[in-house]
Amino acid sequence: MTFTIAVLKGDGIGPEIVDEAIKVLDRLGEKYDRQFTYKRGYLGGESIDKYGVPLSDETLALCKASDAILLGAVGGPKWNHLDPAIRPERGLLAIRKELELFANLRPAILFDALKESSPLKRDLVKDGLNIMVVRELTGGIYFGKRAYSDEEAYDTMYYSRAEIERIAVEAFKIAQKRNKKLVSVDKHNVLDSSKLWRKTVEEVAKDYPDVRLSHLYVDNAAMQLVINPAQFDVILTENMFGDILSDEASMLTGSIGMLPSASLGGRVGLYEPVHGSAPDIAGTGKANPIATILSAGMMLKYSFGLVEESWAIDKAVDEVLEEGYRTADIYTKGKTLLTTSEMGDKIAERVRG
Nearest to 304 by CA among 32, 40, 11, 30: 32
Residue 31 appears among annotated catalytic residues: no
Residue 252: what are its φ and ψ, rounded to 5°?
-65, -20
> Looking at 155, 247, 314, 345, which residue is catalytic?
247
**DSSP strand E in 260-351: where?**
260-264, 269-273, 325-326, 336-337
Q: Which residue type is seen at 216? A: L
Q: Among the options 11, 186, 233, 243, which is catalytic?
A: 243
305 Cβ contact list (under 8 Å, min separation 6):
none
Active site residue 233: no
How far apart, in whole angstroms, are the C-alpha atoms of residue 128 and residue 115? 8
| Rounded-to-integer distance, Cα 49 and Cα 64, Å | 22
Question: Looking at 9, 187, 286, 346, which residue is catalytic?
Answer: 187
Map residue 33 onto helix, strand or coil. Answer: coil
Q: Where are the alpha helices (DSSP H) in 37-145?
A: 45-51, 57-64, 88-98, 122-125
Reduced to 3 states (helix: H, G, I; strand: E, B; else coil), residue 277 is: coil
Active site residue 346: no
**Active-site residue, from 142, 159, 208, 302:** 142
Name which of 254, 294, 295, 291 is nearest 275 in CA terms: 291
Mapped onto helix, strand or coil, the DSSP state of residue 184 is strand
Distance CA 250, CA 235 (A): 13
Which run of H or of E encompasses 103? Answer: strand 103-109
Residues in the chain: 353
**Is 187 a residue of the active site?**
yes
Number of H helices, E strands in the chain: 12, 14
Residues contacting residue 301 through CB under 8 Å, at least 6 positions apart: 307, 310
**Contact, 54 vs 277, CB < 8 A?**
no
Catalytic residue at 26? no
Active-site positions read 142, 187, 219, 243, 247
